Amino acid sequence: MGNHVRLTSDLMTTPAKTIQAWEALDEAARRMTAEHIHRLVVVDKRDRPPGVITEGDIVREIADCCEDG
């Protein structure tokens, strides 16, 4: 039985689920819900990924809005 190193590419979703940086937060939430995913890669106008948005990010934003309002 040999050692098998798992690579990130073994588990990644392809193609990556993305959203443009200028899209509204509620659109990200709708897409995550509709596609049953937990994160989206955010891409800029050149399709470069400056970051990732997660369900947790959205929940924190909602909680912050509730505290402020």
- The CB density around residue 52, as the number of other CB atoms within 10 Å, is 13
pLDDT per residue rounded down to tens, the chain (69 residues): 567 899 988 888 889 999 999 999 999 999 999 999 999 999 999 999 999 999 999 999 999 988 766
Q: What residue ranges define each of the domains in the chain, with the CATH number in brackets?
A: 8-68 (3.10.580.10)
Q: What pTM did the predictor assign?
A: 0.79
Neighbour-count burial for 20-44, b at 16+ CB within 10 Å, e otherwise: eeeeeeeebbeebeeeeeebbbbbe
- Quickly tell me which residue has 């990200």 as its tokens: 28
- Rounded distance, CA 62 to CA 37, Å? 18
- The CB density around residue 53, as the number of other CB atoms within 10 Å, is 19
